[in-house]
């Protein structure tokens, strides 16, 4: 089974011919050149593939995208504001390695303890919030100057020092 990574969402329809605006967290201006398929999450863990007809850069965080079979603004609007996902190989190709979203799939480590895999990255003004699966529950872990020790890209690990009691919140539910 393929692994999928969330890169953003279809934020709005554009024009009359079914074009969409993709808001992404890829860390760079991109036209997604060479990308053939995006996946839209219809329901939790249910991904619908859409073939790309054409794309164009709008801004650092937005790309115009035209999908096969989406030919009117009314049909395009039905896809907003749905989340957009890429398969792992495409995600690696189109993501700037220094972008926070590049941490998806890394293991979060505290000392020698593997806390869980990073399954979502949310950029906030003063910190990055990572979602991990911790003891079967989704846990939000803040990354900022005080908590981040190092990132080991070779071994796909993020080392943190968490405030005392933070993980206890997720253990006692």
Domain count, the chain: 2
| Residue 2 pLDDT greater than 70, yes or no | no
60 is in which domain, residue-wise?
4-94
Three-state secondary structure call for residue 120: strand
Task: Answer yes or no: do 89 and 109 share one domain.
Answer: no
Task: Answer yes or no: do 126 and 71 share one domain.
Answer: no
CATH number at residue 50: 2.40.30.60
Q: What is the pLDDT of residue 74?
A: 92
pLDDT grade for 71, boundaries at 50, 70 and 90 = very high
pLDDT single digits (tens) 126-158: 778 889 988 888 888 888 888 888 888 889 899
Look at residues 5, 9, 24 and name the one whose alpha carbon lies nearest to residue 106: 5
Q: And the tokens for 51?
A: 């073939």
Please state, for a pLDDT cut of 70, what percent of the chain lies above it.
98
Q: What is the pLDDT of residue 67?
A: 93
Q: What is the pLDDT of residue 31?
A: 82
Torsion sign over Cα 94, 98, 102, 105: positive
Residue length of the chain: 173
| Residue 173 pLDDT greater than 70, yes or no | no
Q: Are β-strands 83-87 and 19-24 bridged in parallel, bridged antiparallel, or unpaired?
A: unpaired
On average, the pLDDT of the chain sits at 86
| Residue 45 pLDDT greater than 80, yes or no | no
Task: Answer yes or no: do 138 and 90 share one domain.
Answer: no
Domain final residue pick, 38, 73, 94: 94
Is this prediction's pTM over 0.95?
no
Domain final residue pick, 61, 77, 94: 94
Q: What is the mean pLDDT of residues 74-96?
A: 87
Q: What is the pLDDT of residue 22?
A: 92
Task: Answer yes or no: do 26 and 83 share one domain.
Answer: yes
**Separation of alpha carbons 56 and 47, rounded Å:** 24
CATH number at residue 147: 2.30.30.240
| Residue 43 pLDDT greater than 80, yes or no | no
Domain final residue pick, 75, 94, 113: 94
| CA dist 2 → 43, 47, 59, 144, 160 (Å) | 17, 11, 29, 31, 28
| Residue 1 pLDDT greater than 70, yes or no | no
């Amino acid at each position: 089974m393929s692994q999928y990574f969330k890169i953003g969402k279809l934020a709005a329809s554009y024009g009359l011919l079914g074009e969409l605006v993709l808001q992404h967290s890829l860390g760079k201006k991109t036209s997604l050149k060479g990308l053939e398929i995006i996946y839209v999450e219809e329901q939790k863990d249910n991904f619908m593939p859409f073939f790309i007809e054409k794309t164009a850069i709008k801004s650092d965080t937005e790309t115009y995208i035209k999908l096969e079979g989406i030919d009117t603004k009314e049909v395009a609007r039905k896809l907003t504001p749905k989340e957009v996902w890429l398969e792992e190989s495409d995600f690696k190709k189109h993501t700037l390695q220094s972008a926070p979203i590049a941490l998806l799939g890394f293991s979060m480590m505290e000392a020698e303890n593997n806390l869980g895999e990073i399954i979502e990255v949310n950029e906030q003004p003063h910190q990055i919030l990572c979602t991990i699966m911790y003891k079967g529950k989704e846990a939000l872990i803040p990354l900022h100057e005080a908590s981040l020790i190092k990132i080991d890209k070779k071994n796909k690990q993020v080392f943190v020092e968490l405030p005392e009691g933070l993980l206890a919140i997720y253990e006692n539910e």
